[in-house]
Amino acid sequence: MVSVVIVNYFSETLAVDCLRSIHEAEPSLAQDMEFVIVDNGSSQDWSCLLAGLPHVKLIASGKNLGFGRAANSGIRASRGEYILLINPDSLVCEGAIGRATAFMEDPANSAVAILGPKVYDDVAKRSVQSSVRSFPGFSAGLFTRTSLMTRLWPDNPWSREFLRTNWQHDLPARVDWVSGCCMLIRRSALDQIGMFDERYFMYLEDVDLCRRARAQGWEVAYFPGTEIVHQIGASTELRPLRMIVELHRSGWLYFRKFFRAGIITRAVVLLGICARATVEIFVALVGLSARRVAGRCARK
């Protein structure tokens, strides 16, 4: 019934830990599940790592395809009625998948195409990640979790609206979109709405998928009865500057795809995206330089 798809980018140990967490959390269900790992270009020998883990299909892409394209490759290679798309830097908590599929099988939830779990920052479950958000609008770039405006004025109403900071994480609800770090997706919905838009190399492909699902009459659900732990950015930290560029490129693609705007508005938005990317790259370069200097000093 369930196919687990993991897109890996030089996170082999984490990916295997994720698989083991599923077997530990769902020992009976895991025997009837299939597991697909799409390896985005690493040279790791998986044979030893996957020893003792049954039903694992490895797809070696030979290069970094990006998240959406790699995820689609894994979905096409799978057969399950539901696809659990999960990041390699995640751990599944006890009973999570069983409760998630039971939720999707409930006739009352037959219109739910995508389910998002409750996401914790660490195994001690000390803090909950904001994995549920509103669809981004024109001002979203100014009020992301890491934006300058949000850092200077954390409690501003625009950030609260977009980031859903007042969200009640203990109650299930129909929502705009859920984070792609972990999604349970109904295959019949994908057959209708299509898979991930492969023009997004990284970021916003999850928002895009949820938006298209909603537009075609499907629902997106947040279900706290399913819990995972997610270590943010374990793969993206390997190439921080490239990820900044891809985030803003995805933002421009998303804007052009879903918003009708005149040439002046488009020019203003593009300039704003470029300016924000430039600032973030500068800040990242300063941080990298500072860490290198600190490392040299520590070795002396």
Please state the φ and ψ torsions of residue 110, each to the nearest 5 degrees: -65, -20
The 3-state secondary structure of 198-223, one letter per residue? CCCCCCCHHHHHHHHHHHCCCEEEEE
What phi and psi values does residue 186 have, to the nearest 5 degrees?
Answer: -80, 125
189 touches 75 (CB < 8 A): no
CA-CA distance, 179 to 4, in Å (whole number)?
16
The predicted-structure confidence for 42-95, as pLDDT tens digits, reads as follows: 877 888 888 888 889 999 988 899 999 999 999 999 999 999 999 999 999 999
257 Cβ neighbours under 8 A, 6+ residues apart: 197, 208
- The predicted structure's pLDDT at residue 299: 63
| pLDDT value of residue 108 | 97
Q: The tokens 């984070």 sit on which residue?
A: 179
**Helix, strand or coil for residue 203?**
coil
Q: Which two tokens stand for residue 209?
A: 């998928």
Does 230 score more than 90 pLDDT?
yes
Average pLDDT, the chain: 87
Domain 2-130+167-233 = CATH 3.20.20.140: no
**What's the pLDDT tens digit per position in 271-285?**
888 888 888 888 888
How much is the pLDDT for 72? 97
